[in-house]
Amino acid sequence: MLGLRKGEMLGLTWADVDLDAGELTIDRQLQRVGAELLHRETKTAASDATLPLPDICVVALDRRRTAQTAARDAAGHAWQPSDLIFTTRYGRPIEPRNFNRFWDRRCDAAGVRRITVRDARRTCASLLADLDVHPRVAMQILRHAQFAITMEIYTVVSSAATRDALKRLGNALDR
């Protein structure tokens, strides 16, 4: 929904979320560097943002908190305390490669074509374009430093949107 990068999503903490206000602050990422899994600053300063959460995200995060509490209770002493939202069943950070495998299994279970997490980010950009969201707003949601990245690399306009635009143009010129 928010077009988060994989590392940004895996690096989210409960302190980054205000479910009552419906906001999410993005300013860190989880990243594998050599043999270490590091919780560090985002890719660029432009990547940092506080975004409003759509209601579906608030519900999903509330469910995640409930599931994580149940996992912590089930793990008992094996639980590794952290403030991360997305953890293993023992509270450890999720290894990015393991997340890729989980993502692929979810695509298979849903009966949809496998796509990458980055493809989901591109889908977010393309859906925003189809919804006639102003390109600057889409750029802000995706937190790109350069407008061209949002429009030339991430956004694909559907043929339905193209047909609709040309129909509207034809109607405007036919007056």
pLDDT, tens digit, 9 for 90 and up, residues 24-68: 999 899 998 888 988 888 877 667 888 999 999 999 999 999 999
* pLDDT of 70 strictly over 90: yes
CATH 3.40.50.2300 for domain 1-114, yes or no, is: no
Q: Tell me the pLDDT tens digit for each residue of 118-159.
A: 888 888 888 888 888 888 888 888 877 665 666 656 666 667
Domain with CATH 1.10.443.10 in the chain: 1-114
HSE of 24, CA atoms in CB hemisphere, 13 A: 24
The pLDDT value given to residue 152 = 59
Lowest mean pLDDT among 4-8, 10-14, 69-73: 4-8
For 14-28, what is the mean pLDDT? 94
Phi, psi of 54 (to 5 degrees): -60, 150
- Indicate if the pLDDT at residue 12 is higher than 80: yes
Residue 127's Cβ-count burial label (10 Å; 0-12, 13-18, 19+) is middle
Give me the pLDDT at residue 41, please: 83
Give pLDDT, residue 47.
Answer: 73
pLDDT(169) > 80 = no
Higher-pLDDT residue of 41, 112: 112
Which residues contact residue 159 at a Cβ distance below 8 angstroms, ignoring those fewer than 6 apart? Answer: none
Looking at residue 73, what is its pLDDT?
97
- pLDDT tens digits for range 73-95: 999 999 999 999 999 999 999 99
